Structure 1
Amino acid sequence: MSSGEPVWLRAQPSRTRHRRPLTREGIVDAAVALLDEHGADGLTMRRLAERLNVTATALYWHVRTKDDVLDLAVDRIFGDVPIPEPTDAWADDLRVLVRGWRAAMLDHPWAPGLVGRPMLGPNVLARTEFLQAALVRGGYRGRRLAVVTRLLANVVVGSSLTEATWRRASDPEARTAARAHVASHPDAYPTLVASGHLDDARWNDDLLFEEGLTAVLGAAPP
């Protein structure tokens, strides 16, 4: 599936070579809609062409592979993440950014699983620049800056992926059954039972996410 060089490092082809009113932007719009409906596994070039009412061949004037489409779609989602105006409160600025990042991931549950792909799109890079600039204002430099950047990304992507997967795979009865299963084995899992593992009422996702941010910033001071 891979075409080697990332889509971000290749120039867009001339639009005059194709007569249909088809653009890369339109392709990405349709791709995001299909991804929201069917997930990454359900996106095919044929299905995308059908959604756009064009032939699959027409798509290849603008993108080479499905990988290109996925990279472009992920960057489009990052465009939904608000970039706040920088203030003197660098940690608050950072929290605003990563909260928006998490919200965008949860709005598009297919996205967290693709974030490990080459992240060279303008929307991704602009938000990564803001994140690191906020950390620099907080005193982070060098390797410490790289470590905390990676940790924050892992908190956002990991929590979003877990939440999105759990929401897709479980109905309320299944979640209740999972909690009951753990609670019914206190001898085997005493720590899990005591900590309220899988107990949404006790430890909701929003709380765990906020505590995760605090833990990262507190555990790795500049």
Structure 2
Amino acid sequence: MATRTRRPERRQDPLSRERIVGAAVELLDTVGESGLTFRALAERLATGPGAIYWHVTGRTELLGAATDAVVATIADDDADATPQEAIRALALGVFDAIDAHPWVGTQLARGPWQSRTLRVFERIGRQLQALRVPDAAQFTAASALLNYILGVAGQNADNTEAAKPGIDRTEYLDAMAAAWEQLDPDEYAFTRTVADQLRRHDDRAEFLAGIDLILAGITGPGPGPRTAGSR
């Protein structure tokens, strides 16, 4: 009597694009962009690379989808918030997303006018319109805010990564501030005077303070972009 070949058990949780993207986000958070391979992803999903290619065409598409998934978690604008509050909340949402997923900052900066970055740009622009920023100044104002958000958030993530290997943040900043204090007083007079502020600063608070400075420049009197009623 012939021996019947046993069929493999059917997967209880069918492979889907959403599940693949979620596993990719987890893998990126663990090993970074260089570690995202279809082989590693297949092992995490307990499947074959071919099954993954059924849902995504390649690594570029997968990175984009993973970035979209993270950006989608940033809270929508609060209808009751002022435009300034909405911009601050959006900026902080991006900052926290990149802080939690450092690879996202690289993806957003790599394709500044791709759809995922444009979503952030669009939300900033709508709030600037609500502030009655003149039409001719809206692109410049929105670009300045977007570039600041991505630049500072990305730099913060890089600094966090650099300080990770067993180094406490307080100790890291204290050592850096101490090094600033030892700089040549003639060449680095300013840097020496703010060394203690570096030692005591809070990254998120400083980030939001920068947003407020930009908003003040956009909406306040001066040669730059202003609200329609400014003089």
* TM-score under structure 1 length normalisation: 0.81
Per-residue Cα deviation, 1:3-28 (whole angstroms, up to 9, x for no partner):
xxxxxxxxxxxxxxxxx922111111
Candidates 90, 113, 128, aligned match of 2:83: 90
Given that 1:40 and 1:110 are in contact with CA atoms closer than 8 Å, whether structure 2 keeps it comes out as yes
Given that 2:28 and 2:35 are in contact with CA atoms closer than 8 Å, whether structure 1 keeps it comes out as yes
RMSD: 2.2
State, as a whole percentage, how many aligned pairs show the same letter. Answer: 27
Q: In the alignment, which residue of structure 2 is the partner of 1:208?
A: 206
Task: Compare CA radii of gyration and give the structure with the larger one.
Answer: 2
Pairwise mapping of residues 2-41 of structure 1 onto structure 2 (< 5 A)?
21-41=14-34
Letter aligned with residue 190 of structure 1? A
Given that 2:129 and 2:138 are in contact with CA atoms closer than 8 Å, whether structure 1 keeps it comes out as yes
- C-alpha spacing 1:141/1:63, structure 2 compared with 1 (3 Å): farther
Q: In the alignment, which residue of structure 1 is the partner of 2:174?
A: 176
Letter aligned with residue 28 of structure 2? L
Q: Indicate the SS of the match to 2:199.
A: coil
Pairwise mapping of residues 74-153 of structure 1 onto structure 2 (< 5 A)?
74-87=67-80, 89-118=82-111, 119-121=114-116, 125-153=118-146
> Does residue 49 of the first structure (1) align with residue 35 of the second (2)?
no
Q: In the alignment, which residue of structure 2 is the partner of 1:191?
A: 190
Given that 2:178 and 2:195 are in contact with CA atoms closer than 8 Å, whether structure 1 keeps it comes out as no
Given that 1:132 and 1:149 are in contact with CA atoms closer than 8 Å, whether structure 2 keeps it comes out as yes
- C-alpha spacing 1:27/1:143, structure 2 compared with 1 (3 Å): farther
Question: 5+ residue gaps in structure 2?
Answer: 1-12, 219-225
Q: In the alignment, which residue of structure 2 is the partner of 1:68?
A: 61
Q: Indicate the SS of the match to 1:115.
A: helix
The number of residue pairs the alignment matches comes to: 200
- C-alpha spacing 1:37/1:204, structure 2 compared with 1 (3 Å): same
Given that 1:28 and 1:73 are in contact with CA atoms closer than 8 Å, whether structure 2 keeps it comes out as yes
Distance of 1:194 and 1:206 partners within structure 2? 22
How far apart are residue 174 of structure 1 and its match? 4.3
Letter aligned with residue 200 of structure 1? R
Distance of 1:157 and 1:139 partners within structure 2? 24
Given that 1:83 and 1:127 are in contact with CA atoms closer than 8 Å, whether structure 2 keeps it comes out as no
Q: Indicate the SS of the match to 2:177.
A: helix
Distance of 1:48 and 1:167 partners within structure 2? 25
How far apart are residue 126 of structure 1 and its match? 4.7
Distance of 2:76 and 2:143 partners within structure 1? 19
Distance of 2:102 and 2:199 partners within structure 1? 19
Given that 2:121 and 2:146 are in contact with CA atoms closer than 8 Å, whether structure 1 keeps it comes out as no
Question: 5+ residue gaps in structure 1?
Answer: 1-19
Distance of 1:36 and 1:164 partners within structure 2? 12
How far apart are residue 219 of structure 1 and its match? 2.0
- C-alpha spacing 1:26/1:183, structure 2 compared with 1 (3 Å): same
- C-alpha spacing 1:31/1:102, structure 2 compared with 1 (3 Å): same
Q: Indicate the SS of the match to 2:57.
A: coil
Deviates more, 1:65-74 or 1:52-61: 52-61
Given that 1:163 and 1:205 are in contact with CA atoms closer than 8 Å, whether structure 2 keeps it comes out as yes
